[in-house]
């Protein structure tokens, strides 16, 4: 298990785009490709609306949290889930939970100062939202876009994985 020292930076890439652009669908293709390359990948989904609900009301873990527990961890064979009070909710603060990963991919966090890959689908919008964002490193799209970063098609998963690997993991 790889543990990063305090002076090493955990590679983070944020996948961003309009609602319905296909970010989750894109990640469902990208994650297995990165794993096939031998990487341990963690993900963080950013919920800007605050409607996140991990457990259902009435279940034990929900009842623990509802009773005032600051942190609730659910453990079962092969996986754990954590709900923790976090007033800041910063991406950098959350990365402490991913120190044993090779790469963290976020879905969202378009305002964070991290490298961003924007998914642009013609059915949702024709231009990238973050066209002038200095942290935009690539665009994944089914349309022609005028940007000064590498562009990939929606199915160019292997090429984009190679781009990420070369740029952030070499």
Beta-bridge mates of residue 43? 105
Beta-bridge mates of residue 138? 117
pLDDT cut 90: percent of the chain above it: 54
| Cβ-Cβ contacts under 8 Å for 155 (sequence gap 6 or more) | 29
What DSSP element (H or E) covers 158?
A: helix 157-168
**Tell me: the pLDDT tens digits for 113-138?**
999 999 999 988 878 989 899 999 99
Q: How far apart (Å, rounded) are the C-alpha atoms in residues 91 and 109?
A: 8
**Tell me: the pLDDT tens digits for 28-72?**
999 999 999 999 999 998 877 666 666 678 888 888 888 888 888
In contact, 41 and 31? CB cutoff 8 Å: yes
What are the tokens at 24? 């989750």
Q: Around 162, how many Cα atoms within 13 Å sit in the side-chain half-sphere?
A: 6
To the nearest whole number, what is the mean pLDDT of the chain? Answer: 88
State the pTM of this model: 0.85
Class of domain 12-51+89-168 as given by CATH? alpha beta
Q: Residue 15's closest CA among 139, 163, 169?
A: 139
């Amino acid at each position: 298990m790889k543990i990063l020292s305090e002076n090493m930076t955990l590679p983070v890439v944020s996948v961003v785009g309009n609602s319905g652009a296909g970010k989750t669908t894109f990640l469902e293709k990208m994650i297995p490709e990165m794993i096939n390359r031998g990487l341990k990948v963690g993900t963080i989904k950013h919920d800007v609306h605050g409607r996140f609900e991990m457990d259902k009301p009435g279940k034990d873990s929900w009842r623990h949290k509802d009773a005032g527990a600051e942190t609730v961890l659910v453990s079962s064979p092969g996986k754990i889930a954590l709900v923790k009070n976090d007033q800041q909710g910063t991406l950098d603060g959350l990365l402490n939970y991913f120190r044993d990963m090779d790469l963290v991919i976020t879905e969202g966090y378009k305002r964070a100062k991290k490298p961003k890959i924007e998914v642009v689908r013609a059915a949702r919008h024709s231009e990238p939202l973050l066209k002038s964002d200095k942290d935009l490193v690539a665009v994944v799209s089914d349309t022609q876009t005028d940007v000064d970063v590498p562009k990939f098609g929606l199915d160019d998963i292997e090429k984009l994985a190679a781009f990420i690997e070369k740029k952030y993991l070499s």
